[in-house]
Amino acid sequence: HNSDTALEAGRFPDDPAWQWFVNMQSRQTPAQPENPPQRPIVLSRAPYETEYPVDLGLYLPEDSYWTRSWQLTERLLAQFRDLVEAQGSRFGVVIIPDRRAVHQEDWVSTVNRYPIVGEGNPLTPVARLSVMMQDNGIANLNLTTALRAHVVDYPNGRLYYASDGHFNISGHVVAEQAIHDWLLVQGMIPAGG
């Protein structure tokens, strides 16, 4: 980070989450020298193009770069959980799968465009997150089951926009109902709430 983009600790002095982010930023070290992974292969630098978008690496067998990324994610989630619980609140995570884990045709089109992704699995990221939550004793709801069940019941419908991966109206409705039911079961909201 540099001083031009540093978060101001005094901006929200009574907000524990803001203070946590300020503290995390203040402990950052300078970026390491460039040490790109072997994959994805850089095909061109002007314009910059790789053999597949970096984020699709989430689906592939884990390499040392992704292992470190997952470890960092796990540490950050555990720290955030500790911060929330120290404030007397309950912490929970809702795992939202990518559209490729819900709509088979989205996975197929991704593999057709980037064949290397076929070595992976569309459920890898949500499975990895589920294990991480379990290992850390974090209450969580994996929306994959509810979303995939809806697609089975309504095979011609969509829950995500095809081009950008965000929920459409139907996706929000299915997610809202599943989250509501989970919050009730967890006792995080009162019955009838």
**What distance in Å separates the CA atoms of residue 57 and residue 129, rounded to the nearest whole number?**
15
Residues 79, 21: contact at Cβ < 8 Å?
no
pLDDT tens-digit profile, the chain (193 residues): 444 578 888 889 888 888 888 888 888 888 777 777 788 888 888 898 888 898 999 999 988 989 999 999 999 999 999 999 999 999 999 999 999 999 999 999 999 999 999 999 999 999 999 999 999 999 999 999 999 999 999 999 999 998 888 999 999 999 999 999 999 999 988 886 4
**What distance in Å separates the CA atoms of residue 67 and residue 73, rounded to the nearest whole number?**
10
Report the 10 Å Cβ neighbour count for 97.
21
Model confidence, pTM: 0.79
User: Which pLDDT does position 21 carry in this prediction?
Assistant: 87
Amino acid at 1: H
Please report how many Cα atoms fall inside a 13 Å half-sphere around the Cα of residue 2, on the Cβ side: 1
Q: How many helices (H) and strands (E) does the chain have?
A: 6, 4
User: Which pLDDT does position 1 carry in this prediction?
Assistant: 42
User: Which pLDDT does position 25 carry in this prediction?
Assistant: 87
| Structure tokens that stand for 27 in this block | 């402990």
User: Which pLDDT does position 161 carry in this prediction?
Assistant: 94
Residues 70, 126: contact at Cβ < 8 Å?
no
Contacts of 146 (CB under 8 A, 6+ apart): 174, 175, 177, 178
Residues 136, 78: contact at Cβ < 8 Å?
yes
